[in-house]
Each structure stands twice: as C-alpha cells, then as structure tokens.
Amino acid sequence: MNEFTLGVEEEYMVIDPATRELTSHHQKIVEAAQRIHKDQVKAEMHQAVVEVGTGICRNTAEARREISQLRRTVAGLAGDLGLSIGASGTHPFSHWEKQLITEHPRYNEIVNELQEAARSNLIFGLHVHVGFQSRELAIHIANQVRYFLPHVFALSTNSPFWEGRNTGYKSFRTKVFDKFPRTGIPDIFNSIEDYDNYVKLLIKTNSIDNAKKIWWDIRVHPFFETIEFRICDCPLLVDETMAFVALFQALCAKLYKLRLQNMEFISYSRALINENKWRAARYGIDGKLIDFGKEIEVNCRNLVLELLDFVDDVVDDLGCREDISYVHKILEQGTGADRQLAIYQQTGNFVAVVDYITAQTLVGTI
C-alpha cells in the first residue's frame, strides 16, 4: 500500500516593519535558522524571500507541527533582526526593481537566461510533495489529478495586489509566473519513460541542464519519489496550508484507490484544464468552473463540495479529516485574497493590508 508521505515548502516575504516594504535580510535569517533547522530553511533568488521545507512527514499532523515550528522560528529570527515575515502570494505594493538578487551561480544563470522575467518574479508559493512507491505510479496519478488543480488553486488564491494596484485577480502571482518557460498545467505523459524522454531531449538540446527547471503546476519530482504540487499561492494561515496539503494527499489516495479497482478518473487535456485555471486565478471561489463531463459551468463552491465528497472515503484512513474540514471555513470566510481585499476596502491603505498579512502569518502556529 502506498503511504502518501508528505513534504511542505512555503516561501515567505521579508518585510521592513517601518516601511512595510520588502527588504533584503542579507541571508542572516537563513544563516541563523540553519543552525536550528539545518537545510530546512533556504535562500531564494530574491533576497527578500525565505523558503522553508518540512522533512518527510507520515501524515498531516506531523506536517502541521513542522510547518508551524518553521513559521515561528523564521518569524522570531526576523524579529531579532528588526524585521518581520508575511505569508502571501505577492506583496501588496513593493516593486521588484528595488529588490536584490541572491548571489549564487544557479540564480545568476537563471537571471542571465530569463532576464526581466526572472528579476520580476517576486512571488511566494506553496509546494506540497506527496510520496509514491514508484515513479510509474506517480506519473499515472499526476495525469489524472491535473483536473482538480484549479479547484484547490481557487481555494488558495492569496495575491490580489501587485505593485500598489488592485489587479482584479484573486491570484496575480500566477500571472507573474506565466512569463517563465515550462510553467502552468503540464501535458499528459503516457508513461514515465515518455516523461523522461521529454526531459532528456530538453537537456540534449541545451534547453535546460536538469529537470528542476521544469516549473509546472504539478510535476513528478526529478530527485524525490514524489508528486510535487506547485500551483498554490503561499497561504496566510497554517490552517489553510494544511487544508490544501490534506486535499492533495486525499486526491492522490483516492485516485490510487480507483486504480486498485481497475478504474481511473478521466485525464483531460491541458487546454481544457487551463480554462478552469484562468477562472480560478481571476475569480477565486466566487466564480464558475467548467464541469467537463457535463459540459456546463458550475459554481466553484459547489465543485469544491463535490471534490470533498469525492475524496471522503479515504480521509479517515489518512487521518486528515480535521485538516481537510477547514475547507468549509474557507468557503465561509473567503480565501486569503478575499480577506486582503476586504481590509483594503475598509481602509483604502496597502500598509494596513501588509499589517494584516504579517499578523495572520503566525495565527494558529502556537
């Protein structure tokens, strides 16, 4: 039986509490955190970003403990330096042109190749790894689970603002990232050999030097025995992060269960799934997604409830019912984007939005 182990990565904003702007921490947070958590805290391409990652967790309870501890550690070390951290897909008003790039051969190479697309990629995501016993099984499940990515993405939308503007999107982070090559919803791969041959061709033709430069919304990880979900904005709350982790784990378990019964979910084309991804980015949970089987539009909230019903029979075996049930609270209270927008509508002030983000980042981590 596949155990569906978990790994969770989050990217945080480093903020100057006086100006509420993004600021460089000159890797001091990372250096201090690595003395506590070793390689679980890392630098990112921009110096205003700190990335954290859990170890391999057996269940959502372990993942929650680790990601909560990492949020607390990074926030505490930032505070010691007179800084703060925030969890959001984008900063509400900072401009990327002012932010420093981390000096590292890999980042220098990416900036040299992708130029302004890389320098302007000042965004913050959530990555969720779900473990699989074989890469062959992983590619089979990845093909099918692609359909559900916009549903979870809609729940995670948390980046309505960009450079001091209300973008009209619930997730503008994804629109910023679209400038990179090899992003978005991947195609269907008929086998793991099919996928590996694709990677080998790109390496052979000097398109990439390794498979980590494939930045799709979901990928069979090039080095770990996992499917990596990369579509979500970094959530405001740990409770939200864990809801999405539980959803991705449950979807993998459900699709695996169907496979054991010689059944499978339909693998829809990238072109169709992209229609739903765009709707999710624009409207979050307040819009409509397409039910491709029925060929009709359906309220996103209704499809999310159908999704919860779809995975319900595996949730208790995984032990993630409490985490996944938080989805109902998101449907009731709104996504991170909805709540950021509400603060801005109340105050007309982006500084107030930043203060809200930083305050929310540690809620529920104690």
Tell me: the pLDDT tens digits for 48-69? 899 999 999 999 999 999 999 9
The pLDDT value recorded for residue 83 is: 96
pLDDT band at 220 (very low <50, low <70, confident <90, very high): very high
What are the tens digits of pLDDT across the range 281-309?
999 999 999 999 899 999 999 999 999 99
Instruction: Collect all residues with Cβ–Cβ distance below 8 Å to 144 and sequence separation of at least 6.
Output: 255, 264, 265, 266, 267
Give residue-wise pLDDT tens across range 130-186.
Answer: 999 999 999 999 999 999 999 999 999 999 999 999 999 999 999 999 988 899 999
pLDDT at residue 45, rounded to an integer:
76
Query: Per residue, what are the HEC states of 179-238?
Result: CCCCEECCCCCCCHHHHHHHHHHHHHCCCCCCHHHCEECEEECCCCCEEEEEEEECCCCH
- Distance in angstroms (rounded) separating the CA atoms of residues 139 and 326: 29
pLDDT level of residue 1 (50, 70, 90 thresholds): low
Point out the least confidently predicted range of 31-35, 83-87, 242-246: 31-35
Q: Are strands 288-291 and 226-233 parallel, antiparallel or unpaired?
A: unpaired
Position with higher pLDDT, 38 vs 350: 350
pTM of the model: 0.96
Domain map of the chain by residue range?
A: 6-361
CA distance readout (Å), 235 to 26, 273, 330, 362: 24, 23, 11, 11
CATH code for 6-361?
3.30.590.20
Percent of the chain with pLDDT over 70: 100
pLDDT digits (tens, 9 = 90+) for 307-364: 999 999 999 999 999 999 999 999 999 999 999 999 999 999 999 999 999 999 999 9
